[in-house]
Structure 1
Amino acid sequence: MQINGSIVLYNNDVELLKKAINSFLNTELEVKLYLIDNSPTDNLKYLSSIDPRIEYIFNDANLGFGKAHNVAIRKSIENEVKYHLVLNPDVYFEKSVLEELCGYMQSHHDVANIIPKTFYPDGRLQYLCKLLPTPAGLVVRRFISSDKLIKKVNKKYELRDFNYDKILNTPFLSGCFMFLRVECLKEVGLFDENIFMYMEDIDLNRRLHKKYKTIFYPNVSIVHVHAQESYKRKALLMSHVKSAVYYFNKWGWFFDGFRKNKNKEVIRLIKKINKKL
């Protein structure tokens, strides 16, 4: 059984990128890694010589996050590969993570996507289980300067009442690490290529969650450097805004029944979990 993975490149920190590459390849499982390069030049092509399990694809254009990953995911579909890992270039992890996740997916056929517990390099937890976003919530988190209000919104949105040590089926999981069942992607579709960057992970996960489980799995962990570039660079902020507008036009700004019901369902589930503690 083969597991394919893909990392989208764009003028990356090479040493950090190598940690991501080595993390994926450090396994006894049969794996293949696609490096999909959106950079202006193919200077990173030499990375394909690190290991024969790497295939480098130079796009000669910046296709965006989701469209570039789709290049590799389509190869997984064509080759009838069972699982595909969408991996950020700033994520690294210990050996056995892939084995553990693969074992869980093998015994839970109703799971379409899974992400492990995730930490910053300094050991702080990243709150990557989220509710489906609302327009008001995104505006507060990106444009309002009130720390008190942002903290209140994040407490609910990032499910901070959840202690992140139990398995949870939630409609929004971060796109930094998406261990995907390819058969499910064939049914619901790949990343929406109308989204250049940001929100594409939410869009795909909600489509998967509508028919399958999308699981937070705390029994293994990864490290995500997570620079939050859209908070620092105006061009990326505008890309985030454009993606958000497209997302809400697609799924609904104020009337999104799926969002309303699923968010309530997750909150109820967390309350039930907390009562058992």
Structure 2
Amino acid sequence: MMVFSIVVTYNGSQWIEKCFGNLVNSIIQDHHILAIDNGSTDNTLELIRALYPEVEVIENDANLGFGKANNIGILKALEAKAEYVFLLNQDAWIESNTIEDLIKISKTKPEYGILSPIQNDARGNIEKQFSTYLSKAKLNVQKQILEVPFVNAASWLIPVTCIKKIGLFDSLFFHYGEDENYCHRAHYYKFKIGIIPSSCIVHDRGERLNKMSFLKTQVRHIIYIKCNLANINYPMSYLILQFYFKTPIFLLKKLYWRQFKIFFVRIIIIIKLPFMLKGILLARNRTKKQFNF
């Protein structure tokens, strides 16, 4: 049983030893580790090659984004006839038994297309954003799996049987949003998404969650709208009408609370939306066509 672990790297030298060191020390057998580098300008690649020669490295000439870079690794996993793909962020690290524990549960629960361990921060507490996913499921340690509508792709185990139905990450998304879109597509193909309370990793992201600039706020809101409209589980006409129906109330609330940055971001999105619809429609059509490899 071959497992492909894929890590997309970009100027991540500060995490290399923990991320790859723990992957190399995983107790899972027949484990292939692949680093897809998105054009790092620090010593990320030098560290990986010097410390972990067993890790296969693929260098991209430019930053392809999270989804496209992972797709390179996923295709290699399919070519190698792997049974599982394990996606891990460069700023995250596993325990020695993490992957094995996830696979054991996956084998008994084939209806789950995506499994994630609990994500703790560097201080050992449940990571702040991850806690919002848990709030949508009843955290009961007696349960083997907590079913959730979404969990971010910082640490995903995906059976290849699932990938062969859902396909790769969609090119509509460059960075952020691709994991939510993938979860929507998993639901479309009747797969469940689960968190395993008995398994955990560290996701060291807290220090970088700073206040966003106007441009970053705009980008994040555009991603949110794209994710919503590309959700194949609902008719696109319904989602567009819902957006325009809710927008006046949304704008009035932002004015009332003097949240002018978000107010103007939404105005910009209203102007841009007609030009985004073609790409979103193409993404929805791609989802309807089952992936062929």
User: TM-score scaled by structure 1?
Assistant: 0.74
Aligned residue in 2 for 1:95: 96
> Which residue identity lines up with residue 111 of structure 1 in the other structure?
Y
Task: Answer yes or no: is the 8 Å Cα contact 1:230–1:237 preserved in 2.
Answer: no
After superposition, the CA RMSD in angstroms is 2.6
Matches within 5 A, 1:70-149: 70-126=71-127
CA deviation after TM superposition for structure 1 residue 7, in Å: 1.0
Q: Distance in 2 between matches of 1:6 and 1:122?
A: 25
Aligned residue in 1 for 2:59: 58
Aligned residue in 2 for 1:218: 197
Q: Distance in 1 between matches of 2:200 and 2:222?
A: 32
Aligned residue in 1 for 2:22: 23
Deviations 1:70-126 (A, max 9, x none): 110011111110101110011112211111111111222222111112211212213
CA deviation after TM superposition for structure 1 residue 231, in Å: 4.0
State which drifts further: 99-108 or 247-256. 247-256
Q: Is structure 2 residue 194 aligned with structure 1 residue 208?
A: no
Aligned residue in 2 for 1:194: 172
Task: Answer yes or no: is the 8 Å Cα contact 1:230–1:236 preserved in 2.
Answer: no
Higher Cα Rg: structure 1 or 2? 2
State which drifts further: 33-42 or 177-186. 33-42
Give structure 1 stretches of 5+ with no counterpart.
131-153, 257-277
Does the C-alpha gap of structure 1 residues 245 and 228 become closer, same or farther in structure 2, counting only changes over 3 Å? farther
Look up the SS of the partner of 2:230 in the other structure: helix
Does the C-alpha gap of structure 1 residues 83 and 161 become closer, same or farther in structure 2, counting only changes over 3 Å? closer
Aligned match for 2:138, one of 147, 152, 162: 162
Q: Distance in 2 between matches of 1:64 and 1:96?
A: 29
> Which residue identity lines up with residue 204 of structure 1 in the other structure?
Y
Aligned match for 2:157, one of 169, 179, 186: 179
CA deviation after TM superposition for structure 1 residue 242, in Å: 2.8
Deviations 1:18-59 (A, max 9, x none): 211122221231111111111254843321343343111111
How many residues align? The count is 230
User: TM-score scaled by structure 2?
Assistant: 0.70
> Which residue identity lines up with residue 244 of structure 1 in the other structure?
Y
Does the C-alpha gap of structure 1 residues 75 and 242 become closer, same or farther in structure 2, counting only changes over 3 Å? same
Give structure 2 stretches of 5+ with no counterpart.
240-293
Aligned residue in 1 for 2:35: 35
> Which residue identity lines up with residue 124 of structure 2 in the other structure?
G
Q: Distance in 2 between matches of 1:230 and 1:68?
A: 23
> Which residue identity lines up with residue 163 of structure 1 in the other structure?
L
> Which residue identity lines up with residue 199 of structure 2 in the other structure?
V
Q: Distance in 2 between matches of 1:25 and 1:254?
A: 48
CA deviation after TM superposition for structure 1 residue 160, in Å: 6.2
State which drifts further: 247-256 or 119-128. 247-256
Aligned residue in 2 for 1:239: 219
Aligned residue in 1 for 2:289: none
Q: Distance in 1 between matches of 2:229 and 2:91?
A: 31
Does the C-alpha gap of structure 1 residues 70 and 176 become closer, same or farther in structure 2, counting only changes over 3 Å? same
Task: Answer yes or no: is the 8 Å Cα contact 1:118–1:221 preserved in 2.
Answer: yes
Look up the SS of the partner of 1:173 in the other structure: coil
Higher RCO (CA 8 Å, separation ≥ 6 residues): 1
Q: Distance in 2 between matches of 1:3 and 1:58?
A: 21
Q: Distance in 2 between matches of 1:228 and 1:176?
A: 16
